[in-house]
Amino acid sequence: MKINKEGYWIIGITGLICVAIWVLVYIFITTPIAIMWIMAALLFAFWFFVTAFFREPRRVQIHDSELIFAPCDGRVVVTEIVSDDEYIKEEMMQISIFMSVTNVHMNWLPVGGEVEYFKHHHGRFLVAWHPKSSTENERTTTVIKLDDGRQVLMRQIAGFVARRIVSYMKPGTRAEQNSVMGFIKFGSRVDLLIPKDSELTVEIGDPVIGSQTPIARLKRREK
């Protein structure tokens, strides 16, 4: 199992804490040996869960300029028309995907093009399904300009548990479709704002796989 670099420090610290807890109990508390082995197994299971959270799956990188792919693993929780007030300043189709603690938490670029805009917003840590989490939580905003001039906006949103968002995006650089764009540690939600005339290929409640599941198809433009 390959581990994402964002987890190295957390995995190491968690392992040291688990070992320290076991050693302290062994030295200072009189406990039957069977209980000690059970405790060791539980601590190892907890450490393994934290390690697995940062797993980095190997996936085929798909390129299709007409399709918009899921930016993360999870479940679709929102599909609606919204008005973007931050950058694009027009009505867009919003697709929101919630990531549970068991999902891979890497994020991928749903489309290819130029990174036109990026901003990190400090904010609150409301639960990810709260309606205000898109605008009030700690988050990043990335806008990709497609080769035909249309724009796609992506938000990485922290949640109640998630406290750290990592993004590798830099304005002015080329974004390759379905390449890794970042990581959300221990959470929680990604919003995607796409042209509102796009054809949705998912519904609320559908599970999706990041970089593999098409969630919408761009409308062809007349030449």
Active centre residues (catalytic)? 188
Distance of alpha carbon 133 from alpha carbon 137, whole angstroms? 5
Q: H-helix or E-strand containing 44?
A: helix 33-53
Going by C-alpha positions, the residue among 86, 180, 182, 177 that lies closest to residue 134 is: 86
Q: H-helix or E-strand containing 11?
A: helix 8-28
Phi and psi angles of residue 141, each rounded to the nearest 5 degrees, phi first: -125, 125
Please classify residue 220 by burial: count the beta carbons closer than 10 Å to its beta carbon, then call 0-12 exposed, 13-18 middle and 19+ buried.
exposed
- Is-contact 62 176, C-beta < 8 A? no
**Strand-strand pairing, 214-217 and 180-185:** unpaired
Beta bridge partners of residue 97, listed in sequence order:
76, 190
Distance of alpha carbon 129 from alpha carbon 78, whole angstroms? 9
